[in-house]
Amino acid sequence: MRSFVTLCLALASSSWAYQVTRPSPSQGWTNSGSQTVTWDMVSTDPSNFTILLTNTDRNVLPINNQVLTASVEGSLGTIDVRPPSGGWIAGPTYRVNLVKSENELSSIYAQSDEFDITESTSSSSATTIPAATLPNGQSASRTTMVASNTAPSGSSNSASATADGPTTPSNAAVSINAQSGLAVALLALFATVMA
């Protein structure tokens, strides 16, 4: 009977503590860029903690208990963590631990389920579109670059950037920047059509 009561109290107390919700077996990480850790907390949980990356397989993670972020404010509920100094090493059986501090790694508040860090798949492309030829023989162009990163789970991140400017070396008398380049090109085109 005593062991039953002890078990019930242990189960009840574990449901009232920090709980790591991501990463998880279905939402692992890739080996590219920052990764997200999310958790739930209750008012009786300590106000801050340190996030560790751990793996019992030394072939996957040679140095165990890598501190990812220290002194995390528990009320945030989510944080993006940067890769450790050696980067994210792809492999199985990783866990994230929320611990008391960098100096007290064995005081574990919560532990994620095992998850994988997988190789990311990345792609990029660039397109240059000529805009116009300027009166002094220079040409203005627009280059659009798109990069995307897709995780095996189907989520993806993408970014794009556009740059305007001369495609031939400029001289000091003509200055074309991202905002005036298109206007100058249109004026040159208009002057050519009107002539």
pLDDT tens digits, residue range 43-87? 999 999 999 999 999 999 998 999 999 999 999 999 999 999 889
**Tokens representing residue 190 in the block:** 């208009």
Residue 107: pLDDT over 60:
yes
Residue 151: pLDDT over 70:
no
For residues 110 and 42, what is the distance between their CA atoms, to the nearest angstrom?
12
Residue 25: pLDDT over 90:
yes
Cα-based angle 52, 21, 11 (whole degrees, multiple of 5) = 95
| 47: nearest Cα among 19, 20, 71 | 71
Q: Which residue has the higher pLDDT, 16 or 146?
A: 16
For residues 22 and 130, what is the distance between their CA atoms, to the nearest angstrom?
46
Average pLDDT, integer, range 29-40: 97
What are the contacts of 138-143 at 24+ separation with CB within 8 A? 138/166, 138/167, 138/168, 138/170, 138/174, 138/176, 139/166, 139/167, 139/168, 140/164, 140/165, 140/166, 140/167, 140/176, 140/181, 140/182, 140/184, 140/185, 141/165, 141/166, 141/167, 142/182
What lies within 8 Å, CB to CB, of 145 at 6+ separation is 124, 125, 126, 160, 161, 162, 163
In 10 A of CB 161, how many CB atoms? 10
Please state, for a pLDDT cut of 90, what percent of the chain lies above it. Answer: 49
For residues 103 and 110, what is the distance between their CA atoms, to the nearest angstrom?
16
Average pLDDT, integer, range 38-42: 97
In 10 A of CB 73, how many CB atoms? 10
Q: Name the least confident of 10-24, 93-107, 176-190.
A: 176-190
Average pLDDT, the chain: 74
Residue 145: pLDDT over 90:
no
Q: Which residue has the higher pLDDT, 65 or 174?
A: 65
Instruction: List the domains of the chain with CATH numbers.
Output: 17-118 (2.60.40), 122-194 (no CATH)
pLDDT for 131: 54
Instruction: Report whether 68 contacts 93 (CB < 8 A).
Output: no
Residue 184: pLDDT over 70:
no
For residues 108 and 37, what is the distance between their CA atoms, to the nearest angstrom?
16
Residue 38: pLDDT over 70:
yes
Pairing of strands 29-30, 115-118: parallel
